[in-house]
Amino acid sequence: MSFKEEFDLPVSSIFPYFESPSEWGKLYGIVKPSKKLGDDWYAVPLKKFPFPLVAKNVQYEHEKKVCWIFGGFWRGVGEINFSANDSKTIVEGFEYISAHGLWLLSSLFEKHFMEKEFKRIWDFGWKRVKRNAQK
């Protein structure tokens, strides 16, 4: 899944949501706080998901770029880049995530459940950024 969003906000208002997987809950809303697992890995519980996202940032350029990987039940990668255009901040990137251990069922599970749910989560997060900007 890829995305490109524009905000009438400075990057300094958006970037903190992505500084660490421990901050993702502020963007997406979570059931419980994230848990530090060691070696910069975090378990991030999400609503409607039976297993937390276990993630770690592997590349970090303050207010420019963040890349992460998933471990545990969920496997995959993500990247987000920030740039400015006039008074807007442009946020673009991608996330690919799959369920580990489902073998032949994995692509079916991804297509019918995960794609839709992760798109919903990202959309919710973008709306939260816009809503918080209006406060």
Q: In terms of C-beta density within 10 A (0-12 exposed, 13-18 middle, 19 or more buried), how is residue 48 classed?
A: exposed
Confidence band of 50 (pLDDT split at 50, 70, 90): confident
Phi-psi region of 106 (alpha: psi -120 to 50; beta: other; left: phi over 0): alpha
Residues 6+ apart with CB under 8 A from 95: 1, 76, 77, 78, 79, 118, 122
Instruction: Give the pLDDT confidence score for residue 108 in this predicted structure.
Output: 56
Per-residue pLDDT, averaged over 84-94, amounts to 89
Q: How many CB atoms lie within 10 A of CB 130?
A: 13
More confident residue, 88 or 116: 88
pLDDT in tens, 96-132: 887 766 555 555 555 556 677 777 777 778 888 878 7
2-133: CATH superfamily: START domain (3.30.530.20)
